[in-house]
Amino acid sequence: MLELPGRPRKLILPIGLTIFSVMDDNINSTFEHELKRLEKRVDALVSVCDKLQDENRSLKQRQDTLTSERANLLQKNEQVRARVEAMIGRLKAMEQGS
């Protein structure tokens, strides 16, 4: 079989299948280029994941703060409601005493 420089070699198997060898400098260069492109994409993905983890951590902290503030406000609201009910009770008692 004749081999031409820069061309893949062709191998014909007895069962009629054809396989091209990929040991060509051009193909290796393309492979390396694709590998570098993939590496850049993976690096970008890792960067996005890091950013999302930081954002998620911040959001969880903010949620904890808001949950705590809500609990405090509910407690104060309950205290105010109890004081208002007590005042209403005293006013009714004063009204009935007159």
pLDDT on residue 61:
98
Between the two ends of the chain, the Cα-to-Cα distance in Å is 123
Total structural domains within the chain:
1
pLDDT tens digits, residue range 37-71? 999 999 999 999 999 999 999 999 999 999 999 99
pLDDT on residue 69:
98
Assigned domain for 53 exists: yes
Assigned domain for 91 exists: yes
The residue segments making up the domain with residue 28 are 10-97
Assigned domain for 32 exists: yes
Taking residues 64-84, what's their average pLDDT?
Answer: 98
Whether the pTM exceeds 0.85: the reply is no
Of 27 and 48, which is predicted with more confidence?
48
Assigned domain for 5 exists: no
